[in-house]
Amino acid sequence: MAHRKAGGTAKNLRDSQPKYLGTKLYAGEEARPGMVIVRQRGTKITAGQGVKVGKDHTLFATKAGTVSYQTVRKTGFDGQRRLIKQARVK
C-alpha cells in the first residue's frame, strides 16, 4: 500500500534554449571581415554590397567598413514590386 497519495505530474516546466537572434551590428558601426551583422530565421534582411549569407541565413561582413541598412525596391518574377531591407558594408 502507498504511504502517501500520488502527486501530480508537472507538464509545463520545460523551455527551449535561447537562440540569440537579432541585429548584432547597427547602422554606423564598424565591421571587420567575418563579423556577424544579423542572425535571423529566413532572409528578413537580405545581403547587399560587402555582405554574404551563411547557411542559417546569418548575414556577415566580407570586408572592413561601416554597416548601413537600406530599403530597396525589388521586382519579382511575376512583375510585382516589393520593398526589401538590405544590409551593406561600405
Q: State pLDDT tens for residues 20-77.
A: 999 999 999 999 999 999 999 999 999 999 999 999 999 999 999 999 999 999 999 9
Here the CATH number for the domain that contains residue 27 is 2.40.50.100
Buried residues in 33-46 as b, exposed as e (16+ CB within 10 A)? eebebbbbeeeebe
Looking at the domain assignment, is residue 57 inside a domain?
yes
Radius of gyration of the chain (CA): 22
Cell of 66: 561601416
Find the domain containing 65 and state its range.
22-89
- Grid cell for residue 90: 561600405
Residue 58 burial (C-beta neighbours within 10 Å; 0-12, 13-18, 19+): middle
Side chain identity, residue 3: H
In a domain, 29, yes or no: yes
Task: Report the predicted TM-score, pTM, of the whole model to 2 decimal places.
Answer: 0.81
**Within-domain flag for 5:** no
